[in-house]
Amino acid sequence: MKIEEETKLDYSDVLIRPKRTTLTSRSDVDLIRTITFPKCGQTWSGIPIIAANMDTIGTFKVYKVLSSYRIITALHKFYTVDDYVTMTQNGLNPEYFMVSTGINDQDFNRLVEIIDKIPVKFICIDVANGYMDKLVNFSLLVRNKYPDKVIIAGNVVTREVTEELIMKGGVDIVKVGIGPGSACTTRLKSGIGMPQMSAISECADAAHGMNGFIIGDGGITCPGDVSKGLGAGADFIMIGGQFSGHDENPGEIIYENNKKYKLFYGMSSDTAMNKHYGKMDKYRSSEGRTVKIKYKGPLEATVDDYLGGIRSTCTYINARKIKHIPKCCTFVRVNNQLNTIFN
């Protein structure tokens, strides 16, 4: 039996140690980061947060809010070419959206049709299991077709495949995370995964050694988790569940016991499978939850809360810019981090 004895860590296993700081106000902090991607030669500037490409999150209405903050939205893979043309006519900035795609022939044809019709900068090649050889081959196909696009691929949680996607697949950014999402049950159904902090640390070390970048995808429960992910080495943080439940998310408000809710579900859930494919195939099981999220009102309030939290982190560790968080971060292991008596 093979066991890696070193304990792997999640966001809840650590806190960030404060240190002396010259910053006197959150307003002193610069959250804009500028990144140049060596493989494609593109440069991007913005706040390195990405809305997940789930069909309740990666939507045009969410994009309209987040782009005003210079935050990226990974648009879900069920938008058609016509949808993209309509969105472009209504204002779609290539700096702040990603086109998502799967890895079969139909997906490639759809991707080509979209890029033929509208300006695109980011391509997100998205599969749950990034360990398939087909992902590397598909990434290389896209890279050869579009040498000047920023290509993202995932999901993975280990060094070896991070390096393979960058080196052999020509990928600019590797998406990291298997099972940490609030609507994901992959760890329960398959036993597969890696605690997100350790996954980010390992994959970031691998990617940065090859002039690549990573996205920490999933596991965010609060603004502090975003800061921890960035401190562990993630270049971007992808958020799903915490961006759900707002006016801008699709779906009607559900009234129950005098409280308001909206539905949120994983993209491998029964709900998603039945909606987009008409059924859940018998050879697979649902690896996603369908949950009722308390209605939160406008998305701006949540975004402001998260950005305020990140600025607060920076003032505690003397990081004047968001890109300084990793070098200013020292983590401490904890067995408890919150007083929950009034929860």
The structural domains of the chain, ordered by start, are: 11-279+287-333 (3.20.20.70)
Question: Which residues are designated catalytic?
Answer: 184
d(CA 58, CA 111): 17
Using pLDDT thresholds of 50, 70 and 90, give the confidence band for residue 213.
very high
Query: Percentage of the chain with pLDDT > 90?
Result: 82
At 296 the pLDDT is 96
At 18 the pLDDT is 97
Report the candidate in 223, 219, 262, 269 with the shortest Cα–Cα distance to residue 244.
262
At 49 the pLDDT is 98
Stretch among 103-107, 199-203, 262-266 having the lowest mean pLDDT: 262-266
Angle CA(267)–CA(246)–CA(48) in degrees, nearest 5? 70
Classify residue 134 as left (phi > 0), alpha (psi -120 to 50) or beta.
alpha
By the 8 A CB rule, do 47 and 70 touch? Answer: yes
By the 8 A CB rule, do 120 and 88 touch? Answer: no
| CA atoms within 13 Å, Cβ hemisphere of 147 | 1
The pLDDT mean for the chain works out to: 93
Query: Is pLDDT of 51 > 60?
Result: yes
